A and B are shown apart, each in its own frame.
Chain A
């Protein structure tokens, strides 16, 4: 299946993917209006320093330990995408405890978790982090 990958050598560490991710989740049309002055809660995060940087988001693992460990049965696979049912999630954070990528994050309300669902959970269609990456470092492809 197609997944989001980052080509580390092209990543500028500009954090625009984080903004595009947070913006995609709002469903608004204007990024400035949607995000200005807001604390953002993206599902992709930039790591690194001045020399190396890269974006990290859910790998949609073939062997998803978050799904197998979820105490609420709130994590499932839908057409390949690892999906969190926020209504079932009780926010115990077992998925955060087990994700080897650190790609599952607490939701701002603390009662659920958030993670990348490849923009299948919003109106974008294709991942917004990929579409908005100015250097083509983030790609959406089969590997």
Chain B
């Protein structure tokens, strides 16, 4: 069995490990358009901050490819899938045959049309290691940085370069920060935290037109800058899958086995959409744990085993200047809210299930809440009053606890 994987990030690593848990022999070829072994993209802000190094960002040891019988074709771009002949065509003209193919092509920054953007000389996105290196090379202690986008990427970028830039201003069309993971209270709390660390916000505003070194905003304000970072969102890389005939919505459609609609073609990670069990809706869950679990399931199934990844939920662990935010699930339902200085906690309950939570400041043992969401544990089978106080295993029945703590499976 010959395996080909397009992409070399978390979903690809999960796929390699999934394949090798079943098939130790079949050759695996990984195609990556980046010139690096697998590294953690979410760590690029930590790299600029100085809290990790390029070496430490590698997600697997240096012998990972060799040990797993993987041929890594780095700096090569897959441009075509021929699902009839079962080959992947590369930009260089080569053609690679496969028996089973994984598309783990990730996503790319979305750059909306913005008037005058071509006048800006020093503009950057912030997703890949090369993006971070380019930004770092241009950054000076005097740099005035304008970041468009107050989401996870834009704000992690702001934190990462805070100590290395003259000033940082973040503009977003939304009237609050991190709207994809936080509610209004949470957004406000995090905004205060980030502002108190010297980052400025212009919210509910957007760029009407760029000049060479300034942005004219819709509100009439003008922001002068030296460097521009565009971080308004990402788009799944679905083109190869579309061209191969795979069903594609917002992302590549996959089932619980990570199979696409085309035989022998699987897909995983940020290029996919899957079902969020807290809402029942299909969506792109571009988060790292999902990429691994989906990639791993793909690998096992590609190699002839059976693995299902059927309980995808959105979840994020992120911190800014020492204040941590842990969130999971969705927020439609009855709310149980607790606030005290420096702490915000919200649990969301619907249909006898915990559907989601936001924890800021006090985050200990949050995984107990996450597991209630992922396992869809009926809340009338646990002592939910205890769980409202704090996450604890005491809330489970003695029998359930014996299974959880006594068996270790």
Residues of A near any B CB (own CB < 8 A): 3, 5-6, 8, 47-49, 52, 54, 56, 59-63, 65, 68-69, 71-73, 87-88, 90-102, 104-106, 110-111, 143
Contact = CB atoms under 8 A, between A and B. Distances in A.
8 contacts: A3-B408, A5-B405, A48-B394, A54-B393, A72-B57, A97-B363, A104-B367, A111-B51
A99 B408 contact: no
Contact of A105 (B288, B364, B405): B364
Contacts of B101: none
Given A98-B315, A101-B404, 7 more contacts: A5-B405, A61-B408, A92-B319, A93-B317, A98-B367, A106-B363, A111-B51
B114 interface: no
B407 interface: yes
Contacts of A6: 405
Interface of B: 14, 38, 40, 42-43, 46, 51-52, 56-60, 288-289, 292-293, 296, 315-319, 322, 324, 326, 328, 363-368, 370-371, 375, 391-394, 398, 401-402, 404-409
A59 B406 CA distance: 9
Given A59-B405, A69-B288, A110 B322 contact: yes
Contact of B288 (A3, A8, A94, A143): A94
A97 B366 contact: yes
Given A73-B59, A92-B317, A102 B296 contact: no
Contacts of A95: 367
B267 to A, nearest CB: 18
B59 A72 contact: yes
A103 B367 CA distance: 9
Contacts of B365: 96, 99, 102
B409 A62 contact: yes
B368 A100 contact: yes
Nearest to A49: B394
Nearest to A62: B409
B391 A102 contact: yes
A61 B367 CA distance: 14
A62 B408 CA distance: 7
Contacts of B38: 73
A52 B383 CA distance: 14
A100 B51 contact: no
Contacts of A54: 393, 401, 405
Most chain A CB atoms below 10 A, which of B46, B58, B367, B406:
B367
B375 to A, nearest CB: 8
A8 to B, nearest CB: 7
Given A54-B401, A72-B59, A96 B364 contact: yes
Contacts of B328: 97
A92 B401 contact: no
Contacts of A101: 367-368, 393, 404-405
Contact of B289 (A59, A68, A72): A68
B405 A97 contact: no
Given A71-B42, A91-B319, A96 B394 contact: no
B100 to A, nearest CB: 21
Nearest to A85: B56
Contacts of B324: 93
B289 A69 contact: yes
Contact of A71 (B288, B296, B322, B394): B288
Contacts of A48: 394
Given A93-B324, A93-B363, A101-B368, A68 B406 contact: no
A69 B60 CA distance: 13
B406 A143 contact: yes
A56 B406 CA distance: 11
Contacts of B401: 8, 54
Contacts of B367: 95-102, 104
B406 A94 contact: no
A100 B368 CA distance: 5
A87 B53 CA distance: 10
Contacts of B370: 97-98, 100
B394 A47 contact: yes
Contacts of B394: 47-49, 52
A95 B365 CA distance: 10
Top 9 nearest A-B pairs by Cβ distance? A102-B365, A73-B59, A100-B371, A69-B289, A99-B367, A94-B317, A97-B317, A93-B317, A59-B408
Given A72-B40, A96-B326, A102 B364 contact: yes
A34 B318 CA distance: 34
B42 A92 contact: yes
A96 B408 contact: no
A42 B370 CA distance: 23
B52 A88 contact: yes
Contacts of A91: 319
Contacts of B391: 102
Contacts of A68: 14, 289, 292-293, 296
A72 B52 contact: yes
